[in-house]
A and B are shown apart, each in its own frame.
Chain A
Amino acid sequence: GIQVEQSPPDLILQEGANSTLRCNFSDSVNNLQWFHQNPWGQLINLFYIPSGTKQNGRLSATTVATERYSLLYISSSQTTDSGVYFCAVERLDSNYQLIWGAGTKLIIKP
């Protein structure tokens, strides 16, 4: 089956720093989404980005589908950005399920 790998697994930064999170996937996909899981366990949808680049405030994402990776950029980090960031992809042969990476745990120190 398709493999989704995220790096780095852990990241500790000072408030105000910038960061880049990476998601590699092993096969062609229909869909790719980035999620933020906050300390209460809630999944917050950040981007639906099967290809191209999107920006939302301090966050932006780029997916290069032909090279099977996606990047999530966080600029001017705030303590509220802490949590786990997940990449999830939808297999090309399935319209019904997302395959998830293991996540990047981000800690922003004040």
Chain B
Amino acid sequence: EPEVTQTPSHQVTQMGQEVILRCVPISNHLYFYWYRQILGQKVEFLVSFYNNEISEKSEIFDDQFSVERPDGSNFTLKIRSTKLEDSAMYFCASSVPGQIYGYTFGSGTRLTVV
């Protein structure tokens, strides 16, 4: 069964540093997403991406965040000047048009800001 692959599985970074979280969506999917989950809380939508541009973003997704599809397979989330409160599990997801099979999520990257 096709999978969404995320790397690294765990990243520790110092406050103020920039991090890049990487994702390889399923190859025939066209919509890509980032979600995050602060420990013990709900999963929250960050951003959706289609046709090389952001389709929708939440209030959380401010100027500190950016997304990019640098090549035909990778989808990245960059967090600039990390803060302690950015510590969370970050999930990448992808879907086909119309989301007719639902969303497929990766295993997540646990980001710890110290």
Do A and B interact with each other, yes or no? yes
Q: Bound complex: CA of A98 vs CA of B55, how far in Å?
A: 14
A19 at the interface (CB under 8 A from B): no
Q: Are A98 and B42 closer than 8 Å at their CB atoms?
A: no
- Contacts of A99 on B, CB cut-off 8 Å? 45
A 91-102 to B, binary, CB cutoff 8 A, 1 in contact else 0? 000111111111
Which segment, of B13-21, B62-70, B72-80, B105-113, faces chain A?
B105-113
Q: How far is it, in angstroms, between the C-alpha of A103 and the C-alpha of B42 when the chains are bound?
A: 8
Inter-subunit contact A45/B107 (CB<8 Å): no
Chain B's nearest CB lies how many Å from the CB of A51? 13
On chain A, the residues within 8 Å of B110 by CB distance are 41
A96 touching B55, Cβ below 8 Å: yes
The A interface, classified by DSSP as helix, strand, loop or mixed, is strand
Q: Which residues of chain A (61-110) have a CB below 8 Å from chain B?
A: 86, 88, 90, 94-103
Q: Which segment of A10-18, A20-28, A30-38 sits at the interface?
A: A30-38
Find the residue from A31, A94, A101 having the highest chain B CB count within 10 A: A31
* 1/0 contact string of B76-114 vs chain A (CB within 8 Å): 000000000000010100000011011111011010000
Cβ contacts under 8 Å, A2 to chain B: none
Is B42's CB under 8 angstroms from A45's CB?
no
Give 1 or 0 for each of B10-47: 1 = CB within 8 Å of chain A CB: 00000000000000000000010101010000111100
Q: Which residues from chain B contact A41 at a C-beta distance below 8 Å?
A: 37, 89, 108, 110
- Using a CB–CB cutoff of 8 Å, the interface residues on chain A facing chain B are 30-31, 33, 35, 41-43, 45, 48, 86, 88, 90, 94-103
Interface residues of B (CB under 8 A from A): 31, 33, 35, 37, 42-45, 48, 50, 55-56, 58, 89, 91, 98-99, 101-105, 107-108, 110
